[in-house]
Structure 1
């Protein structure tokens, strides 16, 4: 697959991040946010199919070629929202749209709800609501996170003897993907080490969350979203739980059900084309 993009590094006030740039510089400004443990390559099939956009596909901190957060810092969803906002500032974008997959979609919703004056449109792929937790479980969750944090320095990332072994492992990871999709993610996500290859991702990304938003918190962010929003739901994706589906269908968003798994936009070209067929008219409406 031949993809035309520009590789850039952005020196934000608090961290340096990497990104892929797609489209003409005068296109509609869009920041694209990948899922947990993925990277900017997740948009390598979809981004070239989206018309009239200037897409900044980020490697979020701790992922891909972006820097890891310093010791003592965390990878909370709201921290990513700050990264996105600083990226927009770097490009001088007072208004911009967000294209998000999975965790990236959740971050997009949080930012759009918190700062509706900055976000023009939301295009979401198989993600919208974070895992929630209620008050009674908060002490246990924080305890689990703190115990894991004490042990993280002793953990070693897996080393794969060959690139192909790493690709095979990614196929079976969270949100199982096709070989082609895993290969694209691995090409950006792996680095050579003695004995083979390991992932560039920060091991702290695997730590349990110290605190989760309550369902009431999550719903408040959803209700605060003021911009047009289009949500693609994968028929074999991660949002298949009956209660969760019912909650998603009650959202005030434009919903589209498409065949495919959680990474339908990356698994094959047909899935990417199906998602593009949804999002192209959605973004075109902003330009009309």
Structure 2
């Protein structure tokens, strides 16, 4: 299924972000948030299968065609939460739903738990909480992050002589994807450079986190969710492999579906996108 989208740039008070707009202007407002190192094309298959919604599929800061954060800034997960809230403000949406994949799902949970009065519904794909770290590991984690940050200036992004080589690299990357999915992400995520192509993404996105939420922190956000939540889990994805995952969902009023496919099941092929859409259509457009 094909569906036209509008390419827009959103001038927020602190940064300019790019996005794809899908659906009618008077549709149910939804902000779609992609995963780490992906971009708005993550929803190229799924968004057309969700009629009646006004979907703003963002490029997160540092991803796709969005601006990079200024020198000296970082990419903390809560900074993405602030970005999303500013996007909603720009559209004049006091209440909206969130459609999140992987890191985008995590950002969605943080925002919905922190400001429940703003978020109508959560539709999550193979993501719920960030990787956590306990207090005793914090000094070592900060040391590793600082060393990596100091070494970043001496590193260069990979350059691919041909577009196809970049596609093949993305197929093998974190959260491996199908060739068609890799092509969609690469079409938006690559830029020409001397010698071929390289990724638009900010190199700082690959730095290790200097600090992680503890498991108790993560649990607190899940416990504070007040809106309806619909979680799609990929049988060959990443979410089910997280430690203590069953404990996280125990006795939670969360709609849960396990679907065949990998971490990018909503993008890998049309059949997977349709299965995800079947889970979300009536949920995001309640009668």
Normalising TM by the smaller chain, what interval?
A: over 0.9
State whether structure 2 residue 210 is matched by structure 1 residue 246.
Answer: no
The alignment partner of 1:240 has SS state of helix
Q: Matched residues in 1 for 2:44 and 2:37: separation?
A: 16
Q: Matched residues in 1 for 2:162 and 2:247: separation?
A: 43
Stretch moving more, 199-208 or 141-150? 141-150
Q: Matched residues in 2 for 1:186 and 1:242: separation?
A: 28
Could you tell me which runs of 5 or more consecutive residues in structure 2 were left unpaired when the two chains were aligned.
Answer: none
**How big is the alpha-carbon RMSD for the aligned residues of Structure 1 and Structure 2?**
1.0
Residues matched between the structures, number: 286
1:62-94 Cα offsets, whole Å, 9 max, x none, are 000000000111101100000000000000000
Q: Matched residues in 2 for 1:217 and 1:240: separation?
A: 20
What's the CA shift for 1:253?
A: 1.1
| Pairing of 1:12-161 with structure 2 (within 5 A) | 12-161=12-161
What's the CA shift for 1:284?
A: 2.2
Q: Matched residues in 2 for 1:151 and 1:140: separation?
A: 17
State whether structure 2 residue 275 is matched by structure 1 residue 274.
Answer: yes
The alignment partner of 2:267 has SS state of helix
Could you tell me which runs of 5 or more consecutive residues in structure 1 were left unpaired when the two chains were aligned.
Answer: none
What's the CA shift for 1:248?
A: 4.2
TM-score, normalised by the number of residues in structure 2: 0.98
| Pairing of 1:172-251 with structure 2 (within 5 A) | 172-241=172-241, 243-250=243-250, 251=252
TM-score, normalised by the number of residues in structure 1: 0.97
State whether structure 2 residue 3 is matched by structure 1 residue 9.
Answer: no
| Pairing of 1:154-173 with structure 2 (within 5 A) | 154-173=154-173
The alignment partner of 1:133 has SS state of coil
What's the CA shift for 1:240?
A: 2.9
What's the CA shift for 1:3?
A: 3.7
1:37-71 Cα offsets, whole Å, 9 max, x none, are 00000000000100211000000000000000001
The alignment partner of 1:255 has SS state of strand
The alignment partner of 2:99 has SS state of strand
Q: Matched residues in 1 for 2:203 and 2:243: separation?
A: 32
Q: Matched residues in 2 for 1:134 and 1:252: separation?
A: 27
1:231-287 Cα offsets, whole Å, 9 max, x none, are 0000000023274431343243110110000000000000000000000011122xx
The alignment partner of 2:80 has SS state of helix
Whether the aligned pair in 1 keeps the contact of 2:102 and 2:125 (CA below 8 Å) is: yes
Q: Matched residues in 2 for 1:260 and 1:135: separation?
A: 35
Q: Matched residues in 2 for 1:55 and 1:22: separation?
A: 5
Stretch moving more, 248-257 or 33-42? 248-257
